[in-house]
Structure 1
């Protein structure tokens, strides 16, 4: 068992005020594999104080200095890749191949992108007789989730540090241990005392203390809509800037002229990636009535390639859900879907073969799903794909936009111009055309109740900057 007894404040590992701990569970086995401190409001206050003290000097460093520090952190993460992938697999159940190719490689890409951005981004701009200058917003509170426990920290840390901000991270209580490996790397690289700080803990104590702290200039939160609303409420009395990356219910629209086999295969892969615990997952597959039955049959057949199993094995494609609570919630949503008229084409609520231990759900394909039903409207966060029927392109667009969320989505067509025209009308922060690949410098974020603000690239950097006009 890994036991970490300290938090990271003011450039050193220090004891938590209270000394209580969080047990970290391996969701594939149900065993306790680690313990970390349950940070308190006093711990948060100490971390914010240290970050505030460090801000004056860090904000005045040159862009070249910041770039060198980020470059050093990227190299340190590369050196730790194998260990970090194993940690993520152990603490949140992500299959080791996905942990290696995605969970630890994406943060390295993000860090590298901000090294590049610092070379060309214009912090100063002359507008008539006015110098428009962009300055760091100040002390940032970063509250991060468990589903991408390294990537989501780096997505906040990298642009904040590039901007000249100092940061206090509150990592998820469900998957906090990889954050310790990240902060070991930060310490090794030599970031000045107070620039980066880590307080693990429960959202109801450490998270709320951070969001409501008067010494915080900005809160960047990734998580559920419910928790994001709470963060915004807590930040409001201090008029603290808030960015929120919340849930999604993304539509994968397969237009009639698309390559059905390719589109369905990619859609199933997206829905089941990371056990379905991905906010951008294409959980609603929209298929024209003429090929609907074929698509359902193909999706059901493909689901057999995602047999749940030991996430430490390289051929496993589907691991467990993060907790018993999440597993039971997903089972309940599958049952409710059937009660509301859906048909189980594959999977279901039964315990998958060979998965008596841990929190596994069979990869599930639901057919005949009503666009207004619960499973078509609520974020499931499990390996559940809903297949919906449409009869014309306008109806497909209406169904795609029939959601309080607006994070991501996809459209497939043999005619790229047609697909682009459709994509422009989808009310989401991003849309992939014919499986367009991920771009780490493109802005990421949502419309509607999927959040406020953007991460990644130049737009991600702008979130951490204030704008000042100097007339002369």
Structure 2
């Protein structure tokens, strides 16, 4: 695997970064450790390609985006197998989510432009014009390697921007498959470029580069702060999709069995390695013990094991570092007085290799505990009691994050509580994912939005022409 700069593969002359299979702990491939010179070359290629690509008729760009969507669909099984191998997501989830949702989100971008996106509008004596912002640096994470690439690269290309992508060095192989799909779809050389490497080297070089007009970053809040600091030197636009500590508020008139079952499902998918995981479950004091019992029973159905097995629901954490981080949080929860209702820090039985963690449920959690405040990014659920609806909303909002949330209860009441939550997206009674609705956070969960019309507008400059 190599970089792709100006349409050519570049293997790199320096060190390489090994890619490990987290289930076997074996090296399965490697990518070049990109340098500042690689970034300069990729940005130069994107800058050179920008004028021509921006001037390409919208209908032609829409056709390219549809071919990207079709290309992802055709290679679904290969993509799913690659995601499973490089980051450990169970193959069933990798097929149904990692390799399938990007088909819908990319097609949704084409639909937005096809359905009469307002490139121009009148405002008194002014003509308002939307134009591509320019060269975009897309820096993407390991937990949803294709999903996050598509969320950034496809709308940027669709509006006429050119792109330099830096995927996570932990799970970079899916990005190489996407590069092939982009080339097959007819994206011209230089309009899309790929540079592998680490955040401190390649990521910071992109964020600081004077010829990069925008950085779109998904990752931890800590890393997002650093991207903002570096990018501020050149006053470029920065879009951030960062961490979360999302609350699932179960009201006293909810179907408790359904609410807990779907709440556990919202915490554990992808091994809990999701920024929008419903990692805090808030339930009425009067139904607390029942909710804990239901959560323990639900967690018991999340089989941990070989991610290539169709029956596995939780694979390994992506790396030894991530496994150790999750285990440390579980131990911290015990130390601070929470009750282990299920799971724990011990290695799951029968798994001698791989970065596995037991699906864990904590009861007796109070809002000030570390496990109720910090993003764990693993299969760890904290269940908190509340006295009344106002306290539930206060606890849910008492966090530096604001990415997602959920509410279960009678429809009108649940909707009213959803409006009170300070989060970018809230599911009511198990509302399903909408690939065209805006995705992004409040507070330290970031800024900017992805998907649909909102994702398209993110990559546009707005000009007013007075007449």
Q: TM-score range by the shorter chain?
A: over 0.9
2:456 corresponds in structure 1 to 461
Do the aligned residues in 2 keep the contact of 1:341 with 1:370 (CA within 8 Å)? Answer: no
In 2, distance between residues paired with 1:188 and 1:428? 38
TM-score normalised over the length of structure 2: 0.99
1:117 aligned residue (109, 112, 135): 112
- Aligned ranges 1:228-239 → 2 under 5 Å: 228-239=224-235
Higher mean C-alpha displacement, 92-101 vs 453-462: 453-462
2:76 equivalent to 1:81: yes
1:412 and 2:434 correspond: no
Report the Cα distance in structure 1 between the residues aligned to 2:199 and 2:215, rounded to whole angstroms. 14
Aligned residues, how many?
A: 466
- Offset of residue 82 of structure 1: 0.5
2:57 alignment partner, one of 57, 62, 67: 62
The answer on whether the counterparts of 1:159 and 1:464 sit within 8 Å (CA) in structure 2 is yes
Gaps of 5+ in 2: none
Q: Which of 56, 66, 70 is matched with 1:71 structurally?
A: 66
Per the alignment, residue 295 of structure 1 pairs with: 291
Residue 25 of structure 2 aligns to a residue whose secondary structure is coil
Does the 8 Å contact 1:307/1:362 carry over to 2?
no
Paired position in structure 1 for 2:351:
355
State the Cα deviation string for residues 269-320 of structure 1 (Å, max 9, x = none). Answer: 1111000000001000000011100110110111111121000011110000
> Could you tell me how far apart the structure 1 residues matched to 2:363 and 2:378 are?
16
**How many Å apart are 1:267 and its aligned residue?**
0.6
2:435 aligned residue (435, 440, 444): 440
For the residue of structure 2 that corresponds to 1:306, the secondary structure is coil
Alignment-derived partner of residue 322 in structure 2: 326
**SS of residue paired to 2:142:** coil
Query: For 2:69 and 2:412, how far apart are their aligned partners in 1?
Result: 38
Deviations 1:52-92 (A, max 9, x none): 00000101111101100011111111111111100000000
From 446, 449, 456, give the equivalent of 2:444.
449
Name 2:336's counterpart in structure 1: 340
For residues 200 and 47 of structure 1, what CA distance do their matches in structure 2 show? 11
Is 1:104–1:150's contact at 8 Å kept on the other side of the alignment? Answer: yes
Supply the distance in 2 between the matched residues of 1:310 and 1:333 (Cα, whole angstroms): 24
**Are the counterparts in 2 of residues 308 and 355 from structure 1 also a CA contact under 8 Å?**
no
1:135 aligns with 2:94: no
Q: Deviations over 1:205-258 (max 9, x none)?
A: 111111111110000000000100000000001001000000000000000000
Q: 1:263 aligns with which of 243, 259, 263?
A: 259
CA offsets per residue over residues 106-130 of structure 1, 9 Å max, x none? 1111110011111121110011111
Cα distance in structure 2, aligned partners of 1:30 and 1:15? 25
Distance of 1:332 and 1:230 partners within structure 2: 25
Q: Tell me if structure 2 keeps the 8 A contact 1:266–1:435.
A: yes
Task: Please name the residue that 2:167 is paired with.
Answer: 171
Runs of 4+ in 1 over 4 A off after TM superposition: none
Name which of structure 1's ranges 173-182 and 71-80 shifts more when overlaid on structure 2.
71-80
CA distance in 1, matches of 2:222, 2:18: 24
Tell me if the contact between 1:168 and 1:199 (Cα under 8 Å) persists in the aligned partners.
yes
TM-score (norm 1): 0.98
Q: Distance in 1 between matches of 2:55 and 2:108?
A: 21
Alignment of 1:387-398 (within 5 A): 387-398=383-394
Q: State the shift of 1:355 in Å.
A: 1.4
**SS at structure 1 position matched to 2:461:** strand
Q: CA deviation at 1:19?
A: 2.8
In structure 2, C-alpha distance between the alignment counterparts of 1:15 and 1:27, rounded to whole Å: 25
Any idea what the Cα deviations from partners look like across 1:14-52, whole Å, max 9, x if unmatched? 232x33111000001111111111111110110000000
**Is the partner of 2:249 in helix, strand or coil?**
strand
The answer to whether residue 38 in structure 2 is matched with residue 40 in structure 1 is: no
**Cα shift at 1:457:** 1.2
Shift of 1:339: 1.2
Q: 2:466 aligns with which of 446, 466, 471?
A: 471
- For 1:463 and 1:186, the matched residues in 2 are separated by 21
Structure-2 residue corresponding to 1:429: 424
Contact 2:16 2:32 in 1 (8 A): yes
The CA distance in 1 between the partners of 2:238 and 2:15, in whole Å, is 29
Cα drift, residue 458 of structure 1: 0.8
1:286 aligns to what?
282
Q: Distance in 2 between matches of 1:356 and 1:139?
A: 46
Equivalent-residue separation in structure 1 for 2:415 and 2:292 (angstroms):
25
Cα distance in 2, alignment partners of residues 280 and 236 from structure 1: 27
Contact 1:91 1:175 in 2 (8 A): yes
Structure 1 residue matching 2:141: 3-state secondary structure: coil
Once the two structures are TM-superposed, the CA of residue 263 in structure 1 deviates from its matched residue by 0.5
User: Which residue in 1 is equivalent to 2:150?
Assistant: 154
Q: What CA distance in whole angstroms lies between the structure 1 residues aligned with 2:401 and 2:57?
A: 39
